[in-house]
Chains A and B, each alone.
Chain A
């Protein structure tokens, strides 16, 4: 039990250091870069060590009452989420060093950036609903300054919107939390759910209603339709934030919480085949098509990717909503693949923005040859997101679709069709960028068009290359990953 204490370290350490960073003003950029990268790498290593070698039992840090406690546990799902976040955090940090040069106010940025790392790991490692909920709220607060970083009108508006949506979602989620407290045997996460059948009897419909509310509550962070609005407007944030938080950490915390809620709190047996499941599936399907359609009509590259994120998050939720182990496996696969892919896409968009200050699709015509690494990586991961074999994304979509048809729900068949339609839309909205960059329709360019159009430096290109290689490797050799995820989905890890 004593050694379990170490679980707290990767959560607390960055929060304390981050708070410290907020008070310090670095004179030299090099010095800050050294300290920040040291802290992030060290913390990521601790987190990975805890995940792979750390204790598996629960660690209770603090007890409010006999039922409410602050507890942590690294189970399979936590391990997958934590490991994904830790690895991507390191890469993003290096990218951010370069990118933030043109945004300024880096002291504040890196302070909150470091704190957020701890908070996300807190979400990952939390062992019960109280802890999850606390860190979930905390995450909203610490990411706010990151969204509003530029502090101009647009950014403040986005920040406010972000806050309102998040608070609204959290309040719905809170209701869910109270009901689990009332009707469950405990608040701990147990695969299969914790509802007390004696108490549930007679109140099934009410509980299902509460589940749907809580689903939408957590769904706000996962940008489920109709609560998606904050995500595209939050793309005014600096690119590392959009990439890491709004494609990986924050939004996937939402998905993660939904998985916890569905599989570990309410339990799939209680929900499978009911209207609650149908609502969840339909919401996911609408979001998938909606996100892709709007992405197609959005010429602003970063916002296009943001809509694409909305659509892809619902792929995961669709997998989760199948409420079968196969569905969860597919969802988790897509969670990981999409994380790698979308972070790369945002980095590419950020690199273009950083070098040339161009943000719109029609402004990047012919850039392909001038920024070969940026566009090559964008194409490769883009193919993955479309679902072109053998790149990443194809396997996850395959897994999702086969899980859907195997679940034998009539709605799931529709879902497979939705996946295909969305894949087609994805193809159009991503390929059109790639084609415009490599095969421009424009043959003559105004003066000054090529200013600054060149490859960014190695702080940006190396993360891009690493991520692209990672996406190809997980795509071609998915077996170890898939096996792990299958074990998690079957409750073995």
Chain B
């Protein structure tokens, strides 16, 4: 393996570029925007150049243990996606931020810093490097989330930071333990260590702790509280970055742990699967109830992360037969990025014009805007898993992997009830996806509403181009599954040490279409009989209003986390600390009472007047008798006696 200088370049060049851009932006905003786009373009080219190489680079001793990068297979794919997403959103940012936005210079600086850190995570070859960049990314992306500086934003960003930092520290604890048990943090070597370990209990504990930080970033339930709000309040390009890439860094960690470290480990896979199923369902349910466009997209991301986790879990459970599950999770990971890129930028276009995200306010915005409608439609059909769009391919693979394991269980004569349930829930969550996306689409593009008044040009040609391309990718990947999707899966598979599927998957065969049809039918039912009946209200003039029926009591953040972590724990901690402190204090008070006791039994407080002999003018004698000197003298005598006693 040669040292490939491209890897450190990809990580550090955007960071340097960000600083240069900041300096440029102080004088010339136009130049800065162009420069930022150029930087991301160069990074994109660099990432593509990694294709087909076994790139490796290490910087010994850097930051202590040294950094190790590697750029093969899946890592290369991730780097390309990251760079592409960044390139597109940077171009889009130019228009999005043009109106009414302050602190753009700061945004560009931290946007590029985050790019470098994210690439650092995806290209890392050991967990130490992952962690270093993971923490950098947390803080730089915090600035992106808090950009608007409104009350809501500060609150949401605070939650984001708190969850991410706490998670990061738990991960650090896990890494300490892994490092102690295995003596290395290199992902490949850890795999060997775990695979040959006699007793895996220690590894499960260490791995579980390591998982927490990644799960927090990927916003797995119950660490998901930051995600819906953070996505909603962040500027749209930043939300796109968060949804497409930043949460995926958490999933990258989950993949590295479940695909490489806990290689073919069924127990571990089961745990991931359960978390995945819960996240998948909860995200979808939250999305059905939401009435804010960006919040729907955010909750949808949450749900899709659950889908990917299901795949990550299944590949561990399936062991050697995990080809479908591996392909499914990788492809859903990739497809979801492109889908959300198009959708969040589309949401950005709407926001840029209306300054609103509430469905009731933006109703009808897209009615006579065919281009925007088309872009949204591509993304929505993709995520619904409609055949011919990319989401269908990956969801089918994930579904098939569950079915495959049910077959295996049945052949072995074991009960498959649990996995049947998982399958049903999987299809149901798919159905909910269809339902909430239909709700979104109908509201913005079909129904009439006040926002229909926005006519004329609503985005410039540069934005239109990047949006169209990202939407087109969704369709293209779905139409040419074997050419594009299978290739991506083949490049990436090595990350999971997975074998190729035993036979080529016929995506459009009847067996595979069934799952999609069940989901779509479920979705239609939910939309028609639940959303339209319960979550919408018919007004006097015949139009519909969307209602927020989600009960406030069910807010995990406000009802549990915030009270516990902001009120109860600090109070208890301070109480314990103070009371322990006051025990010592009490002893001192007692001593004082004794030492400063005057002849007639009156307690004389240690006033500053008695501090030294000179300060008291009523004669030096009383100064000595009542002052500090007396106490010190007695104390000295006491110590001397104690010492003599011990010595003799």
Contacts and interface: CB of A to CB of B under 8 A. Distances in A.
B577 A294 contact: yes
Interface stretch (B164-172, B352-360, B470-478): B164-172
A409 B180 CA distance: 13
A435 interface: yes
Contacts of B61: 477-479
Interface in B556-570: 570
Given A395-B64, A405-B177, A206 B646 contact: yes
A416 B611 contact: no
Contact of A383 (B139, B151, B177): B139
A441 B151 contact: yes
Contact of B180 (A164, A174, A402, A482): A402
Contacts of A427: 165, 169
Contacts of A99: none
A486 to B, nearest CB: 12
Contacts of B166: 424
B98 interface: no
Contact of A293 (B577, B631, B643): B577
Contacts of A390: 62-63, 132, 136
A178 B643 contact: yes
Contacts of A424: 165-166, 169
Contacts of B20: none
B149 A439 contact: yes
A441 B647 CA distance: 62
Nearest to B59: A476
Interface stretch (B235-243, B280-288, B458-466, B632-640): B632-640
Interface string A342-355: 00000000000000
Interface stretch (A41-49, A79-87, A152-160, A459-467): A152-160
Interface in A322-342: none
B23 to A, nearest CB: 14
Nearest to A386: B165
Contacts of A178: 643, 647
Nearest to B174: A420
A309 to B, nearest CB: 16
A423 interface: yes
Contacts of A174: 639, 643
Contacts of A477: 61-62
A293 B131 CA distance: 26
Given A168-B635, A294-B577, A297-B574, A420 B64 contact: no
Interface in A411-437: 416-417, 420, 423-424, 427-428, 431, 435
A11 to B, nearest CB: 27
Nearest to A413: B177
Interface residues of A, number: 57
A78 interface: no
A405 B176 contact: yes
Contacts, number: 125
Nearest to B611: A160
Contacts of A478: 61, 63-64
A203 B611 CA distance: 41
A277 to B, nearest CB: 20
Nearest to A406: B180
Contacts of B570: 293, 296-297
A273 interface: no
Nearest to A400: B176
A180 interface: no
A347 B139 CA distance: 24
A439 to B, nearest CB: 5
A171 B628 CA distance: 16
A167 interface: yes
A313 interface: no
B403 interface: no
B154 A439 contact: yes
Interface in B583-637: 583-585, 606, 608, 611, 628, 631-632, 635-636
B46 interface: no
B63 A395 contact: yes
A389 interface: yes
Contacts of A402: 176, 179-180
A178 B179 CA distance: 43
A22 interface: no
Contacts of B642: 175
A388 interface: yes
A402 B139 CA distance: 25
A452 to B, nearest CB: 24
A389 B177 contact: no
Interface in A296-314: 296-297
Contacts of A401: 172, 176
Among B132, B169, B580, residue most surrounded by chain A Cβ atoms (within 10 Å): B169
B135 interface: yes
Interface string A171-182: 110110011001
A395 B62 CA distance: 10
Given A398-B64, A416-B176, A293 B158 contact: no
A290 interface: yes
B573 A153 contact: no
A402 B154 CA distance: 36
B172 A293 contact: no
Interface in A261-296: 286, 289-290, 293-294, 296
B574 A476 contact: no
A175 B176 CA distance: 39
B601 to A, nearest CB: 23
Nearest to B580: A290
A479 B63 CA distance: 8
A388 B176 contact: no
A210 interface: yes
B63 A389 contact: yes
Given A293-B574, A420-B173, A399 B608 contact: no
Given A160-B628, A398-B64, A389 B132 contact: yes
Interface string B136-149: 10010000001001
Interface string B61-81: 111110000000000000000
B161 interface: yes
Contacts of B162: 428
A435 B577 CA distance: 26
A210 B646 contact: yes
Contacts of A153: 608
Given A171-B635, A388-B135, A402-B179, A226 B577 contact: no
Nearest to A226: B584
Given A175-B643, A175-B646, A402-B176, A160 B632 contact: no
A417 B628 contact: no
A297 B637 CA distance: 39
A477 B61 CA distance: 7
11 contacts: A174-B639, A294-B574, A387-B172, A388-B139, A390-B132, A395-B64, A399-B64, A416-B176, A424-B165, A439-B149, A439-B154
Given A174-B639, A175-B642, 16 more contacts: A167-B635, A179-B647, A226-B584, A388-B135, A388-B136, A390-B136, A394-B63, A394-B132, A399-B64, A401-B172, A405-B179, A424-B166, A427-B169, A476-B62, A477-B61, A478-B64
